[in-house]
Structure 1
Amino acid sequence: MTDRELLRLVAQGDVTAFREWYDRHSGPLFAYLLRLLRDAHLAEDVLSEAMLTVWTDARRYRGESSPRTWLYAIARNKATDRLRQRVVWPLEALDGQRVDGEAERVDTRVAVEEALKRLPPDQREVVELAFFHGFAYEEIARIVRCPLNTVKTRMFLAKQKLRAQLGDAGGRVGEAGG
């Protein structure tokens, strides 16, 4: 069943369809919120609020964007409201546990995480939405409520900064979005 079909059923009060919607989207949305908010408890709260909004307001979905884009925009708006209400402390780096044979991959991930943390928040957000969540630039523009060219500029600047920070490892930066 497609997201549009599920959302139509959710709008009609179908609890089973809502459970499927939740199961389908809660994991990736939580990951996005965690990266945005940098607090697991807060991300869980915002996830719950966003899903409650889907349940209560699904009938307001107009189809101007994909249901997934609509959901992420709701979640982003709720996260922004929460960020305005409090100071968020940065996440700790990885917990340091390494599995044999994966040390180099973990080092690369840590380098990328550190490089992302140094990006301005608006640039980091477009990179995360494109690379970690697979959104196209047009969808990102709807989620963050800015013109498409602004998203493209933010991505261009972010890629430049990431390449400069990551050196040779940054050569693959630029394979998502668009």
Structure 2
Amino acid sequence: MQQIAWIYEEHKQELYSYLLWLTHDTTLAEDLLQETFVQAISSLERFRKESSVRTWLFSIARHLWMKHLRDRKPAPLPEEILFNLSEDTLQKQFSDRQILKRVEQLLAQKDARAREIVKMRAHGYSYAEIAEHAEISESSARVLLFRIRNWLKEQLQREGYF
């Protein structure tokens, strides 16, 4: 128990600062900080010490932040629902869903790091954050995303989506 208390005291402020920087919301940062330590405590026996405790905690925090972004979907207002029922809008939504589904299929052909980089950018991460996560330079992150986007565009054009 003392080890857990020490880990908490040693890393809580730095983790909180990181989460606050990501969220720009003190309440959400505090919630994610608490959840980070709850997950860390529950999976402490699985920690293989292949990285530092700090890196492990930041990884947990980052994954919780990404999960929060994925799960966060505002409920549509009634007038938005009615607007979205127009025929043109429904056709566009169907087309957009088809394209998105195809993009997901194409991305599945790429390696896990490329998929993670694309997902992080789609969730609003900066190039600096992506570079830090992928352990590459910021310019490499930009180049990788540029190449992946171009590849996707070429594939979709070849298949007649555009």
Among residues 5, 8, 18, which one is paired with 2:4 in the alignment? 18
Please give the TM-score of this superposition, normalised by the length of structure 1: 0.46
**1:135-150 aligned within 5 A:** 140=132, 144=133, 146=134, 148-149=135-136
Specify the alignment match of 1:122 in structure 2.
126
Deviation of 1:155 (Å): 8.4
Q: Which residue of 2 aligns with 1:48?
A: 34
> 2-side partners of 1:59 and 1:65: how far apart?
14
Query: Do residues 59 (structure 1) and 45 (structure 2) align?
Result: yes
Q: What 5-or-longer segments of structure 1 have no aligned partner? A: 1-14, 89-119, 127-136, 157-178
Which structure would you say has the larger RCO, counting Cα contacts within 8 Å and 6 or more residues apart? 1
Q: Tell me if 1:75 matches 2:61.
A: yes
The superposition leaves residues 78-134 of structure 1 with CA deviations (integer Å, 9 ceiling, x where unpaired) of 01111222269xxxxxxxxxxxxxxxxxxxxxxxxxxxxxxx7232425xxxxxxxx
Who is 1:95 aligned against? none
- The change in CA–CA distance for 1:54 and 1:152 in structure 2 (over 3 A counts) is farther
Q: Which has the higher helix share?
A: 2
CA positional deviation for 1:61: 0.8
How far 1:54 moved relative to its partner? 1.2
8 Å CA contact 2:128, 2:138 repeated in 1:
no
SS in 2 for 1:121: coil
* Equivalent residues, number: 94
Change over 3 Å in CA distance of 1:152–1:16 after alignment to 2: farther
CA distance in 2, matches of 1:47, 1:83: 15
Letter in 2 for 1:121: Y
Instruction: Give the whole-Å Cα distance in 2 for the aligned partners of 1:59 and 1:152.
Output: 37
Instruction: Please report how far the alpha carbon of residue 150 of structure 1 lies from its aligned counterpart in structure 2 after TM superposition.
Output: 5.8
Task: Name the aligned partner's letter for residue 122 of structure 1.
Answer: S
Structure 1 CA distance, aligned partners of 2:67 and 2:139? 25
Identity %: 32
Are 2:77 and 1:86 aligned?
Answer: no
**How far did residue 152 of structure 1 move?**
5.7
